[in-house]
Amino acid sequence: MKRKLEGQVALITGASSGIGAGVAKAFALEGASVVINYSSSPDKADKILKEIQSAGGTAITVKADVSSEQEVVDMYKEIFRLWGTVDILVNNAGLQKDAKFHEMSLDEWNRVIGINLTGQFLCAREAIKEFLRRGVVPEKSKAAGKIICMSSVHEVIPWAGHANYASSKGGVMMLMKSIAQEYAPMKIRVNSIGPGAIRTPINHAAWQTPESYQQLLKLIPQKRIGEADDIGGAAVWLASDDSDYVNGITLFVDGGMLLYPGFEDNG
């Protein structure tokens, strides 16, 4: 049986750890040629590259800070030089710089918006240019290109102490929907994944100790933290033709976090 992403080039930003690494491995298993983007840790990116290669997959690593217009443009140039095109973008790179709102510095605000939101804009813009240039290649996919934005449950759940992060993800939601609407007629699909709590370096404080883990579980009806594989499976589906009629949605992968578990016993 043909694998779901056979012969397609997939760029995954921030793929040297956590969710991005999980998506990169899941895509490679489905036959995609994977670009592992990283910004600062070549060793970690190489480790993911080797894991993919030893499982029989195809991948390269490319360094770029997604918040830099020039570095993003250069990253795409390098991908086109090596592999000719790009079929799938997973806009995954992101970070938190937490602070009480009245103490938040402009730098903490700008850095989170610059990477989590402007970074997604820059990477999506270059991907869309290439999708429009190339159009549909029917042997590869029904779509001219697919973009998956890594959002969060915090595109809808407010988050005290994290106003910069929640604002960036609220922005990602409208960025995703606006470009989905703009390019659907050109057979380009744009969707988001909204993870709940996934066990990665970004939120280690929330699962590190038994006490913090028990506290976290109060927010998760399924009573387990999510793993990068949970997101990998959802991302494969959104990137493949199995979801060809799905456009402009956020697929929440959160163990039921958005079910307001605080109301389980009537609040």
What is the spatial distance between Cα 35 and Cα 52, in angstroms, rounded to a whole number? Answer: 11
CB environment 87-105: b (16+ within 10 A), e (fewer): bbbbbbbbbbbeeeeeebe
Q: Do the beta carbons of residue 254 and residue 203 sit within 8 Å?
A: no
Using CB under 6 A as the binding rule, whether residue 14 contacts ligand NAD is answered as: yes
Q: Which of 5, 18, 25, 238 binds ligand NAD (CB under 6 A)?
A: 18
Establish whether 165 is a catalytic residue: yes
Angle between helices 42-54 and 18-29 (to 10 degrees): 30
3-state SS of the chain: helix, strand, coil percent to 5?
Answer: 50, 15, 35
Using CB under 6 A as the binding rule, whether residue 141 contacts ligand NAD is answered as: no
Q: Which of 8, 10, 12, 16 binds ligand NAD (CB under 6 A)?
A: 16
Q: Do the beta carbons of residue 169 and residue 202 sit within 8 Å?
A: no
Using CB under 6 A as the binding rule, whether residue 61 contacts ligand NAD is answered as: no
Of 38, 76, 165, 183, which one is the catalytic site residue? Answer: 165
Please choose, out of 12-20, 73-81, 179-187, 207-215, the segment that lies near ligand NAD by the rule CB under 6 A: 12-20
Residue whose CB is less far from ligand NAD, 34 or 144: 34
Q: Which of 60, 95, 249, 259 binds ligand NAD (CB under 6 A)?
A: 95
E-strand stretches of 51-103: 58-63, 88-91
Binding site for ligand NAD (CB under 6 A): 13-14, 16-20, 37, 39-40, 65-67, 92-95, 115, 119, 150, 152, 195, 197-198, 200-203
Catalytic residues: 165
